[in-house]
Structure 1
């Protein structure tokens, strides 16, 4: 089975680095971006099988990023990460799954496996 590529977008450097390590350990190829605009650039230039996207970022929040991504490649699943539990329906309707930032890594890994390997 060919290696799946994930794009992780998060303005928190430590969280991004930890997620990259965890995902690579699971066999994924991981691309990263530390801002929404950068994430959109990588998304448009690279073939990705899934996106793990932070919600609260300066400049462009995850809802805006997800919306732009879905307009260009609607088939790519997006998992939104956030410490906020109550996000607007308009944002939740744009993404394929939601994971709370404090959840164990296994929660994120199972959501990714469910969406990306499907």
Structure 2
């Protein structure tokens, strides 16, 4: 959580089971700081996927195709962009998601 600063992060993708803090706890902590930051959770447990959507902006089972995750992130960011001022730089989300080990990662700020 020390890395999290709402003005520098566009979205968070995390696993539900992480050392020290669950994905649900992380989502709650992020939403307390900024409800605008989309949180996308990934879990290998279907019951988590079924019960956690009220805490996150999207939930996916592990093994979901990267293209599906990228599309959902783009939709979430586009809804935020409609009230923002536009992109300042581009990040290839597919390559980020494809190369990240399980756990949590932050998507850097894409617009001013």
TM bin, normalised by shorter chain, reads: 0.5 to 0.7
Using the size of structure 2 for normalisation, the TM-score is 0.63
Q: Which ranges in structure 1 are unaligned for 5 or more consecutive residues?
A: 1-39
Is the 8 Å Cα contact of residues 6 and 37 (structure 2) preserved in structure 1?
A: no
Larger Rg: 2
Q: Secondary structure at the match of 1:113?
A: helix
Partner of 1:82: 43
Question: Is it true that 1:102 corresponds to 2:60 in the alignment?
Answer: no
More helix by share: 1
Is the 8 Å Cα contact of residues 99 and 107 (structure 1) preserved in structure 2?
A: no
How far residue 109 of structure 1 moved from its aligned partner, in angstroms, is 0.6
Q: Secondary structure at the match of 2:41?
A: strand
Question: What is the rounded CA distance, in whole Å, between the counterparts of 1:116 and 1:82 in structure 2?
Answer: 21
Q: Provide runs of 4+ in structure 1 moved above 4 Å.
A: none
Using the size of structure 1 for normalisation, the TM-score is 0.60
Q: Which ranges in structure 2 are unaligned for 5 or more consecutive residues?
A: 80-112
Question: What is the rounded CA distance, in whole Å, between the counterparts of 1:45 and 1:106 in structure 2?
Answer: 25
Q: Which one scores higher on RCO, CA 8 angstroms, separation ≥ 6?
A: 2
Question: What is the rounded CA distance, in whole Å, between the counterparts of 1:73 and 1:45 in structure 2?
Answer: 6
Root mean square deviation of aligned Cα: 1.7
Question: What is the rounded CA distance, in whole Å, between the counterparts of 2:25 and 2:34 in structure 1?
Answer: 14
Is the 8 Å Cα contact of residues 50 and 77 (structure 1) preserved in structure 2?
A: yes
Is the 8 Å Cα contact of residues 49 and 116 (structure 1) preserved in structure 2?
A: yes
